């Protein structure tokens, strides 16, 4: 199966990327003057966030393709990337609040980006709630595709609205504006690493979803 090959390739790629990423973050990147070492959570937080955004983009595209082609495979792809999106956005929220604690000694900051992730998290948990509530496979796929599209289109609007609403973050977090060149390179590297991790997770889960599908079909053959 071609997905197996992709999974193995990505696996070996990650064997190289992840240690390198750790080395860069903890050894190469300079310590931030104001926040000290804890600022290094920033690399992790932002790269997971990009992974989550990639996953939700995946849901958006697969949902459109499902509505276009009506092939169940796209629905499986959408549902898989939604699952990974929820996993990653949960981690973004956790790392976000762990980072906020030492820096602003508050567990939750109403920062526009964090707020957007929280709202996205709600929508895609709702995505799975909806899926579990509908029996017919085709109708379930069709309705969740609608949520997959609306959820994604909501991101810019919520970002825009919350950015106006309030932002207590210092300038530093204006998407890496305050980072010096070395930090920016390390940031870029860890974002790419996490993008590869997200793709690896996707194919890994996608393979499992396809086998689950085959099990369903075989179980039915057993009954006839």
The secondary structure of 101-142 as a DSSP string is HHHHS-S----HHHHHHHHHHHHHHHHHHHHHH---HHHHHH
Q: Which is nearer to other proteins, 91 or 176 (CB)?
A: 91
Instruction: Give me the residue label for tokens 């106006």.
Output: 164
- Which of 9, 15, 28, 94 contacts other proteins by CB under 8 A? 94
The secondary structure of 29-93 as a DSSP string is SPPBTTTBGGGGHHHHHHHHHHHHHHHHHHHHHHHHHHHHH--HHHHHHHHHHHHHHHHHHHHHH
Q: Which is nearer to other proteins, 179 or 201 (CB)?
A: 201
- Which of 8, 23, 28, 101 contacts other proteins by CB under 8 A? 101
Q: How many residues bind other proteins (CB under 8 A)?
A: 72
Among candidates 31, 172, 192, which has minimal Cα distance to 100? Answer: 172
Task: Answer whether 111's CB lies under 8 Å from 163's CB.
Answer: no
**Does 106 sit near other proteins (CB under 8 A)?**
no
Q: How far is the CB of 50 from other proteins (least distance, A)?
A: 13
Q: How far is the CB of 150 from other proteins (least distance, A)?
A: 6
The footprint of other proteins on residues 107-166 (CB under 8 A) is: 119-120, 122-123, 125-126, 129-130, 132-139, 142-143, 145-147, 149-151, 153-154, 157-158, 160-162, 164-165
**Does 169 sit near other proteins (CB under 8 A)?**
no
**Does 17 sit near other proteins (CB under 8 A)?**
no
The footprint of other proteins on residues 176-215 (CB under 8 A) is: 197, 201, 204-205, 207-208, 211-212, 214-215
Instruction: Give me the residue label for tokens 């930090």.
Output: 183
**Does 45 sit near other proteins (CB under 8 A)?**
yes
**Does 2 sit near other proteins (CB under 8 A)?**
no
Mapping DSSP onto H, E and C, the string for 33-50 reads CCCEHHHHHHHHHHHHHH
């Amino acid at each position: 199966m071609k997905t197996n090959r992709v999974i193995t390739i990505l696996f070996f790629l990650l064997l190289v990327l992840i240690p390198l990423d750790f080395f860069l973050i903890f050894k190469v990147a300079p310590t931030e003057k104001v926040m000290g070492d804890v600022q290094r959570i920033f690399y992790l937080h932002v790269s997971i966030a990009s992974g989550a955004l990639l996953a939700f983009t995946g849901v958006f595209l697969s949902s459109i393709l499902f509505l276009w082609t009506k092939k169940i495979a796209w629905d499986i792809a959408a549902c898989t990337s939604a699952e990974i999106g929820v996993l990653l956005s949960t981690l973004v929220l956790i790392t976000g609040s762990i980072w906020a604690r030492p820096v602003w000694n508050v567990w939750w900051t109403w920062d526009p980006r964090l707020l957007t992730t929280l709202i996205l998290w709600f929508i895609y948990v709702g995505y799975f709630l909806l899926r579990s509530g509908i029996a017919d496979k085709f109708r379930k796929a069709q309705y969740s595709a609608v949520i997959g599209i609306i959820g994604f289109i909501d991101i810019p609007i919520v970002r825009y609205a919350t950015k106006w609403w309030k932002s207590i973050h210092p300038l530093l977090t204006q998407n890496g504006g305050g980072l010096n060149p070395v930090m920016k390179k390390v940031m870029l590297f860890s974002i790419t690493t996490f993008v590869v991790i997200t793709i690896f997770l996707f194919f890994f889960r996608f393979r499992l979803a396809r086998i689950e599908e085959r099990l369903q079909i075989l179980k039915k053959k057993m009954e006839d």
